[in-house]
Amino acid sequence: MRMRMIATILCGLFIFPLFSSARSDGSMQVEGSGTSVFTEVDAYIAHEMTRQRLPGLALGIVQGDRILYLRGYGQADSSGRPVTPETPFGIGSIGKSITAMAVLQLAEEGKIDLDAPIQRYIPTQYNGAKFITVRQLLNQTSGFSQISTFSNTLSSITVQDQDALEKNALSYAKKFLKRSIQTVQPFRYSNANYVLLGYIVQQVSGQSYGDYVKEHIFNPLSMQDSYVTLDEATAHGLAKPHRRIFGYNVPYEGPYIYIPGDAPAGYLYSSAKDMSHYLVAQMNGGRFEDDSVLSQKAPALCIPNLFRERMPWVG
């Protein structure tokens, strides 16, 4: 069957590195969407889980404004608890797109100017804040480097209070905003860009980053199994994190499961069902069912001027 389908998969490197079968639980399928296709999908997932020694994962398949298929496979933890479409996972850097959505919402409200220097929103006197714009943070063209963020990340692991994001953002500002001249920077990926954006969301909205995301993104998109802290996610059945070592998936208990000060860059939690809602909104001009989190023009707000000149059809 020829269908345009986009799948979002939350792959848990879950419990037990070796097992031989994939158990399926908690599935949902749209009537008339073609059972033979999804039987093949299930067979493929089962094969890959065995080949890659994946203890569990959750799958969502979206077409247009519909969710065609949701299913959980395998186990969420050592108790044998099955993965379902509602099982929360750590979504890592996918969370950066949620932070970007929050920034674009505030830009649409006129509260953030994407081409304004970040000094307008961040209380710092470092000269670099005069030259780096919000848009550069969004597009990862600030000149910040990922390697240079590690020391900040390690030092902020123990900071678990409500001011963790502010402390980490200002620490990144001190590290990266000391340059005194304006220069054009190439794309360079760095968590620091999105930590600073999350802090700007706090400064502009008057809410904590987590409260803003819950009220303005999770709630309108009916993302009922999505969380902004590890404690919340754990209380609602978070899948056991794993690390891949020499081809085996080993349960992980280390500090990188949750770093509050880096939350806008990669420490949010969600389920396959909720991320399917989010994907529907991304594919349909910011709308999911009867709610809209962005206008159809919002993605164009984030496109650099260089690309806009080359793509005149972008509004």
pLDDT at res. 292: 92
Domain membership of residue 172 as a residue range:
94-214+298-310
In the chain (315 residues long), the average pLDDT of successive 10-residue segments reads: 46 35 48 70 95 94 94 95 97 95 96 94 81 92 74 56 85 77 76 95 96 97 96 96 87 83 94 97 92 75 41 29
269: helix, coil or strand? strand
* 138 lies in the same domain as 113: yes
pLDDT at res. 144: 83
Strands 269-270 and 89-90: antiparallel
Q: How many CA atoms lie within 13 A of 14 on its CB side?
A: 30
In the chain, how many H helices and how many E strands?
13, 10
The C-alpha angle with vertex 203 and arms to 199 and 207, in degrees rounded to 5, equals 95
280: helix, coil or strand? helix
* 228 lies in the same domain as 170: no
Gap between the Cα atoms of 118 and 137, Å rounded: 9
Is 12 within the bounds of a domain? yes
pLDDT at res. 104: 96
Is 219 within the bounds of a domain? no
pLDDT at res. 301: 54
Domain count within the chain? 2
Q: Tell the residue number behind the tokens 């008339």, with chain if given.
A: 32
* 118 lies in the same domain as 207: yes
Q: Are 132 and 177 in contact (CB under 8 A)?
A: yes
Gap between the Cα atoms of 72 and 82, Å rounded: 7
pLDDT at res. 299: 54
Is 24 within the bounds of a domain? yes
Gap between the Cα atoms of 197 and 169, Å rounded: 9
pLDDT at res. 312: 30
What are the residues whose beta carbons fall under 8 Å from the beta carbon of 11, sequence distance 6 or more?
54, 57
* 272 lies in the same domain as 185: no
* 177 lies in the same domain as 283: no
The CATH number given to whatever domain includes residue 207 is 3.40.710.10
In order of 78, 101, 135, 227, 278, the CA distances from 98 in angstroms are 30, 5, 15, 12, 9
* 203 lies in the same domain as 228: no
